[in-house]
Amino acid sequence: DAGVTQSPTHLIKTRGQHVTLRCSPISGHKSVSWYQQVLGQGPQFIFQYYEKEERGRGNFPDRFSARQFPNYSSELNVNALLLGDSALYLCASSFRPGENNEQFFGPGTRLTVL
Amino acid sequence: AQSVAQPEDQVNVAEGNPLTVKCTYSVSGNPYLFWYVQYPNRGLQFLLKYITGDNLVKGSYGFEAEFNKSQTSFHLKKPSALVSDSALYFCAVRDSYQLIWGAGTKLIIKP
């Protein structure tokens, strides 16, 4: 079975531009979470979606948005990019939200903002 | 608010020796604790979790972790380190719908 997949692998943008990152969860998983990992730090939670509805949002500005599609794949959108948005963006899937459910992570998308 | 701390930025161990990567937590209620490993240019890989039950949790690749409620710790351990264990290790605690992560500990295993 395929794991969590993310696209693109790497992305270079300039300040002010917009970016869309994509994630496909493990087959059968209905929950997708997005995290931002700045170099040298642990991941920071951005969003969680379950059954196409936002279940949680981290402390990120409104420039960050996401959605989940009927096939449970997800997109993360970031508008008006800033230099500080440069990071590894990780997508994680789980069968459903909840304390017992470990999250399985994709390889990430490395975003560089120039 | 839930939080975890990894007090060591880096841990150096000789191959074949036991290793310990430390994690302490602060939670209200029962803790749900996780360890993940991250290899260079790779995503995070799940190692093990503590939900309830035995304080010694066994996970992937020969790793185990000891939950200690009185010391609010969840240290990751392995009896005999391999060079291939060299990676970045993260401790995390579940807080409702999200994971709260430590800053990570770089583990270096020297041949």
Low-confidence ranges of chain B (pLDDT < 70): none
Look at B32 and A100 and tell me if their CB atoms are within 8 Å. Answer: yes
pLDDT(A73) > 80: yes
For the segment A15-31, the average pLDDT, to the nearest whole number, is: 96
pLDDT(A97) > 80: no
Question: Measured between CB atoms, does B59 come within 8 Å of chain A?
Answer: no
In chain B, the residue whose alpha carbon lies closest to the alpha carbon of A5 is B43
Q: What's the pLDDT at B94?
A: 87
pLDDT tens-digit series, residues A35-59: 999 988 899 999 999 999 999 999 9
| Positions of E strands within B23-72 | 24-26, 33-38, 44-50, 56-58, 64-68
In chain A, the residue whose alpha carbon lies closest to the alpha carbon of B94 is A99
Are B3 and B93 contacting, i.e. CB atoms less than 8 angstroms apart? yes
pLDDT tens-digit series, residues B70-82: 999 999 999 999 9
Look at B32 and A105 and tell me if their CB atoms are within 8 Å. Answer: no
Look at A103 and B99 and tell me if their CB atoms are within 8 Å. Answer: yes
pLDDT(A74) > 80: yes
For the segment A74-90, the average pLDDT, to the nearest whole number, is: 97
Listed in sequence order, the residues at least 6 apart from B39 whose beta carbon sits closer than 8 Å to its beta carbon are: B45, B87, B88
What ranges in chain A are assigned the alpha helix state H? none
Look at A103 and B97 and tell me if their CB atoms are within 8 Å. Answer: no
Distance CA A13, CA A19 (A): 8
For the segment A2-12, the average pLDDT, to the nearest whole number, is: 93
Q: What percent of chain A has pLDDT over 70?
A: 96
Are A109 and A10 contacting, i.e. CB atoms less than 8 angstroms apart? yes
Are A2 and A102 contacting, i.e. CB atoms less than 8 angstroms apart? no
pLDDT(A100) > 70: no
Q: What's the pLDDT at B42?
A: 75
